[in-house]
Structure 1
Amino acid sequence: MWGKRLAVVAISLVLTGLTTSAARAGTGVVPASTSWTSAGRGWVLGLDTLCRTANCPQLVRTVDGGTSWTRVRTPALAVPETGRLRVVFASDVAGVVTDGEQLFGTGDGGVRWEPSGLKGTVGALGFDDSGFLAVVYDGTSSRLFHRELWSGPWQPVPGVEVAGQAFGDLAPGQVSLARFGEVNRYWTRSAAGWAEQPPPCADFAATRLGTAGSSRFALCSFDPGFGDMSKELRKSDGGPFKTVSVPPREGITTGFAVSPDVALVAATGRDWSFVHRGLGEKWDTPLTLGGPPLEDLAFADARHVVLVRGGPGQEFAELYRSEDAGATWRTVAV
């Protein structure tokens, strides 16, 4: 354990010497996805407009809240025809990236990338204190895979699988796999391993998961209309999930994030995108933007939140950041 910690410290100290270039914001990278491990430390994966050949995925990182960015060695990702490039980091050095078909992991901040060896379509992607998690559809079934944070092979998690291509969502200690109106299954992890539990949402609802402290949350979205849908925020403190508040109906859900005090919902519809913010049973909408959906909504800590508006090939491709738990927002140049 101490050997691993010392190795992480050593890697962190030399990271700046192992990357290719650093500059003030203005890297030429068009954001597609973002992941932050603290208020100041974050990553953006996107397309490099300075690349001599078209469509070059490029990863950049910041250690000062987005004031400056450093280019990081990036594995040979393709540009997805559908879906998005995605990045998820669990620490300054442990992360994964995917183009939806290929999945790579690093344990040294991007100096080396290991291909996963998994065959199939990569769905939900995340991590908890046991390692990285990925839902992969292999043409027959959708299954949860696990990898240790620093290195090692991806292994299937026994029993966490459904037939067919399922929509999945992950949060620390919980996973949902569902085919709308057909299959809806949910598992939680304890010291004894993964165990199936009653799902937090109904069969005809889309499930988004969140974890804050020891509490588990689920956003259940259902009854879609023209650019809107009903939403319920549900919570479990170890027992059955119970509805604790009802977010605004505006927008089709594209993201969900929770902290101990605040819940945030990203949604889009009728050429508008929203971030709804809930304090207890009271909700408001502090961010309303025209154009493409809002993705990768996540808390870096209890106060700092990030998201990506749009992406490469869309009308907008911007990184947004909040420093007051989602009450106000500003763009961050990349």
Structure 2
Amino acid sequence: MDAPRELSYAEAIAEATDQAMQLDRSVIVIGQGTRDRGHIFGTVAGLFEKYGPERIIEMPLSEAAVAGVAIGAALDGLRPVLILQRTDFVFLIMDQLINQAAKWRFTFGGRGRVPLTLRLITGKGWGQGPQHSQSLHATFGHFPGLRVAMPTEPDDAKGLLLNAIFSDDPTVILETRPLFARRGEVPEAPYTRPFGRARILRPGSDVTVVATAYLLPEALAAAASLAAEGISAEVIDPVSVSPLDQAAIIASVSRTRRLVVADASWAPFGFASELAAIVGEKLFGVLSAPVRRVTLPFTPAPTARALEQAYYPNAATVAAAVKSVLSPPV
């Protein structure tokens, strides 16, 4: 791979899409706003001008119809990337996604393939309110047949998207709007990143913090502030939800004996709860404190800015959770 240079998360997605379309003419993009000046938050910038309307397809306001077209195109040999500007719109396509695309390989004894990539954007903040702010990674992770990722770093955003596009299985990639401006080193040449491999972004010895989506930068900020107080927090980005790198998380918690899960969704039946159950089952008797979950309040997201600020956990919330598992020890 070439020497890395710095890109934003959105730029990394745009580059991955461009490279995939250069490498394979069967790759097409379907979405709303592909020709608008915002270019879906910059993630498809320049692509319509380069590839034209036959491969950059502006979709109508009918998610269910377009999902049927995308799945049909995948079954017919194309590699569609379907973009929904809000994760919440996916409810309109769930039957086709879950009962058809996710089950196709199993239904036909491994002979069928649905190389569909579904990009979903969670609109946290910005006054998005209850119907444009939901992160549904736990929902998708519940169903066999779907690969589910939540990249947080720009290099993962590029590598996982290229992996998804050239996979023969349906893949859901969840992106959080505030992360589009996040910058990091990204190699220029095309490359893929594996699903099911977590990343330790900050090593530590006192407690393990596993964080998703926008809470990953918040967890890193919390770890930095805790270090000034003599607390060493290991921060892990799970990267993908399904498959989940259980081994890396278990190895970390085996050393630190404490776990905080900071998840950008609700606690009941969610990712944080599942991870707490996995660690509880595998490390019963090893933990020095109960697993602590940092999640959204169990209510729909508000729209008013002042309420949003109170609603979403932040670095201070994560730091408080870490301190709660360190004192008193069990």
Query: Do they fold alike, i.e. is TM over 0.5?
Result: no
TM-score range, shorter chain: under 0.3
TM-score after normalising by structure 1? 0.28
Normalized per residue, the structure richer in helix is 2
Higher RCO (C-alpha 8 Å, min separation 6): 2
